[in-house]
C-alpha cells in the first residue's frame, strides 16, 4: 500500500510560494542538487525527512510546528489506512 503525504504537501506548497522560492531554489537551499524532492513532496508522494525540517523552516522563516503537525497527521492517516486494509470485515473498527 502506497503511503500518502497530503498534509505535508499542502504546508510545503503554501510556505514555499509564500516566500517566493522555486522548487529548485528551495531544494538547493536545504542541500539537495535538484528540485525533485520538493516536487515529490508537494505532490504528496514523499514526506520531508525529519532531519531536514529545522533547516527547511529556517529557510522559509516559518514555525516548525506547521510541518511537524502535518507530518503527524499524514502518519496517522497512513497508519489508519494500512490498519483498516488488514482488518477482516467481521471485526468492528469504529471508524
The stretch 67-80 carries a mean pLDDT of 93
Cα separation, 6 vs 43, in Å, equals 8
Looking at the chain, list the stretches that DSSP marks H as alpha helix, in order from N- to C-terminal side.
6-19, 23-29, 36-42, 53-60, 64-86
Share of the chain above pLDDT 70, in %: 93
Q: Quick one: pLDDT at residue 28?
A: 97
| End-to-end CA gap in the chain | 19
CA angle 47, 62, 2 (to 5 degrees): 10
pLDDT tens digit sequence for 51-72 = 999 999 999 999 999 999 999 9
**Residues near 59 by beta carbon (within 8 Å), at least 6 away in sequence:** 19, 21, 26, 29, 30
Q: Quick one: pLDDT at residue 86?
A: 86
pLDDT reading at 90 higher than 80 = no
Q: Quick one: pLDDT at residue 94?
A: 67
All three cell numbers of 49: 525527512
Amino acid at each position: 500500500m502506497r503511503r500518502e503525504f497530503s498534509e505535508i504537501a499542502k504546508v510545503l506548497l503554501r510556505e514555499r510560494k509564500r516566500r517566493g522560492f522555486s522548487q529548485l531554489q528551495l531544494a538547493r537551499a536545504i542541500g539537495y542538487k535538484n528540485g525533485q524532492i520538493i516536487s515529490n513532496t508537494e505532490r504528496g508522494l514523499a514526506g520531508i525527512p525529519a532531519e531536514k525540517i529545522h533547516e527547511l523552516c529556517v529557510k522559509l522563516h516559518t514555525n516548525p510546528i506547521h510541518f511537524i503537525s502535518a507530518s503527524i497527521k499524514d502518519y496517522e492517516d497512513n497508519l489508519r489506512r494500512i490498519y483498516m486494509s488488514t482488518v477482516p470485515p467481521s471485526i468492528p473498527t469504529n471508524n
